[in-house]
Structures are given as structure tokens and as C-alpha cells.
Amino acid sequence: ARRAGAVLRLNPEETRKHGLQPAPGLELDAELANDVDLCFALGGDGTILTALRTYAGSGVPVFAVNFGEIGFLATVEREHAQEGFRRAFAGEFEVLSLPGIALSGGSGGWLAINDVSMHRQPGNRVADLAYAVASDEVGRVRCDGLVIATPAGSTGYNLANGGPVMAWGVEGFVVSFIAPHSLTARALVVAPEDVLAVHNRSLDESVDVTIDGRPACVLPPGGQIAARFVDHQGSLAQIAGTTFYQR
């Protein structure tokens, strides 16, 4: 970073984690803000998703080095980190725009870059979930849960559910069930302009809602939550020539 003439800004948590002391080219104990040229995320997909949500809609690219297990969203692997940093500081990367899912309900609003999942609570009976587009209820299934995924997230939990893989660049999102107690439950790809409403039809059991794998809220019996496609949320740096199919 110093050789490139760049200033590294680190928030209080990162400053403490690495035991950093004041030095040229370092801005320590700094709160995260959008007035930066690039965000480095060193970790797995969870860390990368946190960075993408933090800078969602700002246009700040996230350059990710995989220190996790899969690293599907990573720009480079850890063994190529040094060359990756050189490319990053030289601006030798492309920026891929990723859509998100805006979620709204009675207790607030959230943004997911990968997926929204709804799970029955441990020890409770199976969930009774229905989903509708506008006034049309498309399906109602007793199941362990339901996943709403973006194209980027379609290769995660949705794929494990047997849902379709959506190539990056496809607009819209996919809905798939977790362990449905049904012979006819099928995944559904929703058009980008459609708003999807998920209803908890249970009379007694609440459902846990997670955003990109992290707890967000609880959907009570009789409650509902709405999901809509929003374009141009995450900005993911990638090395030229990298494709979705290569990943």
C-alpha cells in the first residue's frame, strides 16, 4: 500500500485485532465511510458478504481474498494474495455489479446480497409457509423453511435445496423450500419487478429469518414479510477474464 501511495483505513476492531500503531499510510480507529476507492475483504464468503452489504449502493468495489472454505465470491485465493494486492492498487481489475434482495416487514428492513432464509425454530413443529406474488398465492407448504436467493446466492443454500442455478447477469430471484413435506413443491424463479410476500400460516410457531446466513428477525405466527429485487447493490472486484462458469 505504501509503495502504491495508498492510505489504509482500519476501523477500531481491525486496529485492535492487529495491534496496529500509528504510522505513515495508516488511518487507525476510523469509522467505516463511503469516501474510499476500494474495500479489501480478507476472509470467507461471510466476510465478503458483510463488506458488500456495508458498501451496498455506494459503488465502492470489494476486492476479496479467500481465507475461508469455498470463497465463491473471492477475487483471488490466499496463495495469490500478494499479486492480487498489486493488481488492486494498480486498478487492474473489473467491477461486477451484483443485485440484492430488499426485505421489509413489521420490525424493519434489510438487504441481502446472497439470500434470505426462513427456518422453523429448534424444537418446534415444521413451518407452515405460503408465498404470494401480488394477490396470487403461488404455494403453501409445510417444511423446515424457505430460501429466497439472488443469482449470486443461487449456488449456495438454494442449490443445496435442489433449486436452479442462476447465472450472474440474470435478473430476478429464486424461491426454494428446505425439506418440504410435499410431493409437488417446486422452486420458482420470480421476475425482477414482482414483489414476493411470504406468510407464516402457523397458528402457534414462529419462524427465524436470516440474511446472508446471519440472524435478522423473527416472523411470528400470522406474520408476513415482503421481498423485492433491487439491482446494482454490490460492487465485486474480479480479475479480468474470470467468468461465472469458471467459478
Instruction: Tell me which of 29, 35, 37, 45 is the catalytic residue.
Output: 45
* pLDDT at residue 169, rounded to an integer: 87
Q: Is 6 exposed, middle or buried (0-12, 13-18, 19+ CB in 10 A)?
A: middle
Q: Which of 5-19, 27-41, 63-77 has the lowest mean pLDDT?
A: 63-77
Per residue in 91-108, pLDDT (tens digit) is: 999 999 999 999 998 678
Place 245 in a pLDDT band, splitting at 50, 70 and 90. Answer: confident
Per residue in 162-188, pLDDT (tens digit) is: 999 999 889 999 999 999 998 888 899
Per residue in 41-90, pLDDT (tens digit) is: 999 989 999 999 999 999 999 999 999 887 789 999 999 999 999 999 99
Can 45 be counted among the known catalytic residues?
yes
Per residue in 140-165, pLDDT (tens digit) is: 999 999 999 999 999 999 999 999 99
Rounded to 5 degrees, what angle do the CA atoms 38, 4, 53 make? 10
Q: Is 138 exposed, middle or buried (0-12, 13-18, 19+ CB in 10 A)?
A: middle
Please check whether residue 168 is in contact with residue 188, taking contact to mean a CB–CB distance below 8 angstroms.
no
* pLDDT at residue 40, rounded to an integer: 96
